[in-house]
Amino acid sequence: MQAAKNRKIIHVDMDAFFASVEQLDDPSLRGKPIAVGGTSDRGVVAAASYEARKYGVRSAMSSKVAKRKCPHLIFVQHRFDRYKEISSQIRIIFLEYTDLVEPLSLDEAYLDVTYAKKGLPSATLIAKEIRQRIFEETGLTASAGVSYNKFLAKVASDVNKPNGMFVVTPAKAQHFIDELEIRKFFGIGKVSAKKLNDIGVRYGRDLKLVDRLELTRMFGKAGNYYYDICRGIDNREVQPSRERKSVGAENTFSHDLFLDDELKKQLVIIAEKVWERADRSTIKAKTVTLKFKYADFEQHTRSKTIEPYINSKDKFITESLKLMKSEGGFVKGIRLLGLTLSNFLFKEDENDAVQLVIEF
């Protein structure tokens, strides 16, 4: 435990990244409420500027709801190539300080600077220097959390957002956790937070009173995580090579689809896009998952695993169409379809899979 508390972890989180890039590149958008994505009536907000967030506009919100909350909201088409370009610039800055960089997305990452490559031996000063360099080299602001583990660093990065920093030292960690609202615990979602609130658990100090057995009974394996984090225990290491777990694509339609022919056509288009991405990444997947959302926003998924793996685009399309028709097809109009390939076949598995085919 003592060794774990000697680690120096930084979580860097860019402030309203997509929206901030758009405001950076188009000065006329600065200081205005903007939403990236969601440009059609059936669209969904991918990101919102802080000016838009003041009105309650959030990512994953439908365009109609966002517009209702903020009538003068400006919608901007996303430019992922541009976001990736700036994300790469930021990653280069990180790697000057440590090789232990674990990106979570384009706009956030963990850094283990216990043995930093440059700078003073203070994680706080390194985080301050990194934030300053990001601003000088990209024109964007970032927030940071500093502590001795990933959980605390992640939570800390939200405390003084935007363009701020917060440090949780080992000596102050337990008090910080005790006073932290359950809804702000990273790893405890809205549903789990409500279940905890319903039994009187509203702060970290309350969570400490629930024994491990009860938490695992209520939440399964996650209960062990909850038991540990409310005591400041998180021994996960920063993993610089995070392997991709899935590849997918989805489409929200401008009008609800009912006809089988229309749905089949759209599913094939999505499947071809997913297969192109998988083929480009030279991955082999065993599991295909169909995601669909009805007009009333009710969402479902259906999955199937193929052994030894899905070996062609035609096979992928065929299995996707079978999933669409399973369980009697769809019972209502469809507003969204998505497909995902996952459960990747790795090199060591591939030899076993080939051997299996030969035997049979």
CATH level 3 topology of 2-14+83-229: Alpha-Beta Plaits (3.30.70)
Q: Which CATH architecture has domain 246-359?
A: 2-Layer Sandwich (3.30)
Rounded alpha-carbon distances, angstroms, from residue 359 to 284, 306, 350, 352: 21, 18, 14, 11
109 SS3 class: strand
Write down the catalytic residue from 22, 51, 102, 108: 108
Would you call 300 exposed, middle or buried from its count of C-beta atoms within 10 A (0-12, 13-18, 19+)?
exposed
- Nearest Cα to Cα of residue 59 among 75, 73, 46, 41: 46
Domain ranges of the chain: 2-14+83-229, 17-79, 246-359
**DSSP annotation of 73:** P
pTM of the model: 0.72
Q: Along the 360 residues of the chain, how does pLDDT read in single tens digits?
A: 445 678 999 999 999 999 999 999 999 999 999 999 877 777 889 899 999 999 999 988 989 999 999 999 999 998 988 999 999 999 999 999 999 999 998 999 999 999 988 767 799 999 999 999 999 999 999 999 999 999 999 999 999 999 999 999 999 999 999 999 999 999 999 899 999 999 999 999 999 999 999 999 999 999 999 999 999 999 999 998 666 678 888 888 888 999 999 999 999 999 999 998 888 777 789 999 999 999 888 888 999 999 888 989 999 999 999 999 987 888 889 999 999 999 887 544 444 443 333 232
DSSP H or E stretch at residue 291: strand 285-294
Residue 108 appears among annotated catalytic residues: yes
User: Is the torsion defined by CA of 15, 16, 17, 22 positive or negative?
Assistant: negative
Cα distance between residue 94 and residue 134, in whole Å: 9
CATH classification of 17-79 is 3.60.20.10, yes or no?
A: no
Decide: 254 and 42 in contact? Cβ < 8 Å.
Answer: yes
**How far is residue 17 from each of residues 12, 47, 155, 271, measured CA to CA in Å?**
12, 8, 18, 29
